[in-house]
Amino acid sequence: LRGSVIRDIYWIGIPVSVGTLSMAAAGLFTNKLLMSLNPFSVGVMGVAMRLEGFAFTPVFGLFSAVVPMVGYNLGACQYERCKKVIWAAAGMASVLMGAVGALVLAFPAFFFGLFNSDPQMLPLGVQYLRINMPVYPLVGGSIMMSAGFQGLGKSWIAMLMHLYRNLVLRLPFAYWFAAIWGLLGVFW
């Protein structure tokens, strides 16, 4: 055991944990907000998250490949290759997520109905999917940027991105938009 190696592991791992914790915290407060607006909405979000899990799985697989590829090229002082890997992965993830988003956007009732066709939840689920699917290409690219930062050993930047997105943007806007547009505001 070498202290410097253990320190480096924690230096990279702690920010990843904090970023994940910020997503969980944002989800907790979003669920509380949803429950106050419509009891079915938490179920809608649960079903939507399951559906989104299918779209995100290949992107997270790509994420798992990008981190070591960037780290390897960084160690070999191949900085241009690091940039190429990150940008190529961001492009692939954006195209993949865009294709999934377009498919789900074309048939939202069908895809939501695969998981739950409750007549009170289906219309809400369709609305959620129609609002969220168009931004999927951005989500794919963002995930790969996070992978790139982790591969570069700069997981603190990825953590700051997570904290900013979840605690500075997502939660305040969810509450603000809910006050204006109700449940649809939270979906936005």
Is the pLDDT assigned to residue 129 strictly greater than 90? yes
Between 7-11, 45-49, 86-90, the lowest mean confidence (pLDDT) is in: 7-11
pLDDT tens-place string over residues 135-167: 999 999 999 999 999 999 888 898 898 889 888
Instruction: Work out the average pLDDT over 45-67.
Output: 90
Looking at residue 53, what is its pLDDT? Answer: 85
Q: Which tokens belong to 60?
A: 């997270």
Is the pLDDT assigned to residue 23 strictly greater than 90? no
Q: What angle do CA 20, 99, 67 make, to 5 degrees?
A: 40
Looking at residue 125, what is its pLDDT? Answer: 92
Looking at residue 8, what is its pLDDT? Answer: 83
Element (H, E) at 21: helix 3-37
Closest CA to 88 of 60, 61, 56, 66: 66
Looking at residue 117, what is its pLDDT? Answer: 79
Instruction: Work out the average pLDDT over 46-71.
Output: 91
The DSSP line for 102-171 is HHHHHSHHHHHHTT---TTTHHHHHHHHHHHGGGHHHHHHHHHHHHHHHHTT-HHHHHHHHHIIIIIIIH
Sign of CA dihedral 80, 85, 88, 135: negative
Instruction: Work out the average pLDDT over 29-40.
Output: 89
Element (H, E) at 49: helix 39-75
Looking at residue 174, what is its pLDDT? Answer: 94
Is the pLDDT assigned to residue 77 strictly greater than 90? yes
Inter-helix orientation angle 39-75/136-151, to 10°: 40
Cβ(125)–Cβ(50) below 8 Å: no
Q: What is the mean pLDDT of the chain?
A: 91
Q: How confident is the model at residue 29 (pLDDT cuts 50, 70, 90)?
A: very high
Residue 18 burial by CB count (10 A; 0-12/13-18/19+): exposed, middle or buried? middle
pLDDT tens-place string over residues 99-110: 999 999 999 999
Q: Which residues contact 59 (CB under 8 A, 6 or more apart)?
A: 93, 96, 97, 140, 143, 144
Closest CA to 26 of 172, 132, 157: 172
Is the pLDDT assigned to residue 94 strictly greater than 90? yes
